[in-house]
């Protein structure tokens, strides 16, 4: 990855200021993969790396236009679909902290996470409205359906400069399952996805450019996030 050094000592050396969306999203066009398919869906949709990069930019700009600022949390109760990629990486590129919780939770769990995370926006797939809407009554916060957010993306600019950060700055949060009480936040830094993708995805699993990844684990799980998104990207 450009600007990132993987030494023989298995240590990953990163620039002092960078944004992890650049090696995972932006670099593919510069390396000649813009027309290569990045995501295939069960509905026959094929999204190229160039299309993904543009939509990530639009998502980041849409989040900023909705009033979110760098450092704010955006909670996304989103099923596994291309919009998950747009929201997750768009937030990160804009300096916003993405928080994708388990999509199988109940209203009380979501209400707790809305308050605990201090999120400024909730974006949710329509399938989960039955739990999200009661949660919003318990813990009011601005919310949009995925369809409404995609409409906002259509109005947003396709150009977005990545907001630089330290490799150890907050990038995204994942909540634990709560098996020992309330779910707890695991804070992931910008460097973390680079480290796991290189040291595990590439060096252990041997993931290569011509592989196709399919994950039974959902994207909101740390393992699914690697299998279905960060390792392939």
Cα–Cα–Cα angle for 18, 34, 220, nearest 5°? Answer: 60
What whole-number distance in Å separates Cα of residue 228 and Cα of residue 124?
20
Q: What's the pLDDT score for residue 183?
A: 86
Nearest alpha-carbon partner for 41 in 95, 102, 84: 84
Q: What's the pLDDT score for residue 5?
A: 67
Q: What's the pLDDT score for residue 36?
A: 96
Q: What's the pLDDT score for residue 175?
A: 94
Three-class SS of residue 12? Answer: strand
The token pair that represents 106 in the structure block? 């109940």
Q: What's the pLDDT score for residue 54?
A: 98
Buried b (16+ CB within 10 A) or exposed e, 28-46: bbeeeebeeebbeeeeeee
The dihedral over CA atoms of 154, 136, 74, 233, expressed in degrees to the nearest 10, equals: -70
The token pair that represents 25 in the structure block? 């999203």
Three-class SS of residue 79? Answer: coil
The answer to whether 119 touches 110, Cβ cutoff 8 Å, is no
The strand pair at 185-189 and 73-77 is best described as: unpaired
DSSP one-letter code for 109: H
Q: What's the pLDDT score for residue 144?
A: 98
Q: pLDDT tens, position by position, for the chain (233 residues)? A: 545 666 667 677 788 899 999 999 999 999 999 999 999 999 999 999 999 999 999 999 999 999 999 999 999 999 999 999 999 999 999 999 999 999 999 999 999 999 999 999 999 999 999 999 999 999 999 999 999 999 999 999 999 999 999 999 999 999 987 767 788 999 999 999 999 998 899 989 999 999 999 999 999 999 999 999 999 99
């Amino acid at each position: 990855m450009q600007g990132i050094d993987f030494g023989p000592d298995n240590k990953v050396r990163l620039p002092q200021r960078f944004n992890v969306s650049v090696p995972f999203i932006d670099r593919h066009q510069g390396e000649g993969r813009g027309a290569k398919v990045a995501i295939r869906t069960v509905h026959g949709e094929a999204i190229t790396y160039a299309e993904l990069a543009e939509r990530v930019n639009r998502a980041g700009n849409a989040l900023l236009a909705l009033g979110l600022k760098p450092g704010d949390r955006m909670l996304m109760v989103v099923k596994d679909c291309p919009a998950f990629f747009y929201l997750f990486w768009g937030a990160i590129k804009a300096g916003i902290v993405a928080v994708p919780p388990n999509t199988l939770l109940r209203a009380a769990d979501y209400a707790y996470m809305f308050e605990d995370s201090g999120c400024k926006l909730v974006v949710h797939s329509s399938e989960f409205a039955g739990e999200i809407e009661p949660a919003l009554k318990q813990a009011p916060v601005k919310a949009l359906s995925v369809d409404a957010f995609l409409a906002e993306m259509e109005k947003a600019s396709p150009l977005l400069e990545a907001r630089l950060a330290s490799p150890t700055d907050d990038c995204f949060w994942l909540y634990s399952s709560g098996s020992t009480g309330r779910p707890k936040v695991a804070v992931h830094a910008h460097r973390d996805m680079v480290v796991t993708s290189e040291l595990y995805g590439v060096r252990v699993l041997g993931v290569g450019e011509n592989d196709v990844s399919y994950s039974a684990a959902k994207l909101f799980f740390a393992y699914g996030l690697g299998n279905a998104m960060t390792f392939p990207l």
